[in-house]
Amino acid sequence: MGPYAFAGGTAVVTGAASGIGEALAAQLAGRGSHLVLLDRDAERLEGVAGRIRADHPGLRIATHVADLADDEATARVAATLVAEHPETTLLVNNAGVALGGRFDQVTLEEFEWVMAINVRAVVQLTHALLPVLKTHPGAHVVNVSSVFGIVAPAGQAAYAASKFAVRGFTEALRHELAEDGIGVTVVHPGGVRTRIAESARTGSGVSVAEYEEGRKRFATLLRMPPEDAAAQIVAAIERRRPRLLIGWTAKVPDVLVRLVPGSYWRLIARRAAPAKPTS
């Protein structure tokens, strides 16, 4: 399979109103791709689309507002994408949400909210657009997992479950679509500076003190600019890379899981724990 051709293609990008999705949209446009951008935040989404239209007046930029937590809304927007954008050559399932709290601190409704956006929407959109992608030899699919699709920390049962599911789904999809000439990439970002921390929900059973501590520790890891992460994803698409680890916060855990699969978390937790006062 040759390199992916951006110029003249059409890319569908979910979660495009901020973070990695916004940066990806801008960089794909810079490569000559027409864009179909999805997000639930209509105002932010239109701002992103407006800036790209101003910078690239020759490109077609379409927007669709949808809450991917709603299965019926996801099905409707998927049908719209198929009907209105049969020229699609690239699908980037980037939208994602997080939920803090141990499994016994979250409700099943909260757990399902994460699974709906992070897993079911990925499956629904991919399933709907696959027939379209198959009509374009050399098409490509990108599913954004997480470092928590490699390691599963305490307090992230819902998020880790969703991102491990994305990883497994994507790997199977890659093997299935190889004979169709469609490339598939799974992306595992580490500490990328996006809005996922501020938009994350906290389990109903999590105390205020636990929430603040977890939020502060999580925020310290989010250092890489989303533009840097997007550039790596664009390069991986072009080269048809099957798997992309972004940042040392993804690469180091990946190595640890391979070396000590049953005890990696003790090492990571010890390294991440705040230093104790010496006096």
CB 140 within 8 A of CB 90: yes
- Of the residues 4, 159, 211, 264, only one is catalytic, namely 159
4 counts as catalytic: no
User: Across the strands, what pairs with 183?
Assistant: 140
Place of tokens 């794909």: 28
Distance CA 270, CA 260 (A): 15
Place of tokens 């909210």: 113
For the chain, the straight-line distance linking the first and the last C-alpha, in angstroms and rounded, comes to: 61
Residue type, 11: A
CB 78 within 8 A of CB 124: yes
DSSP designation for 15 = S
Could you list the active site residues? Answer: 159
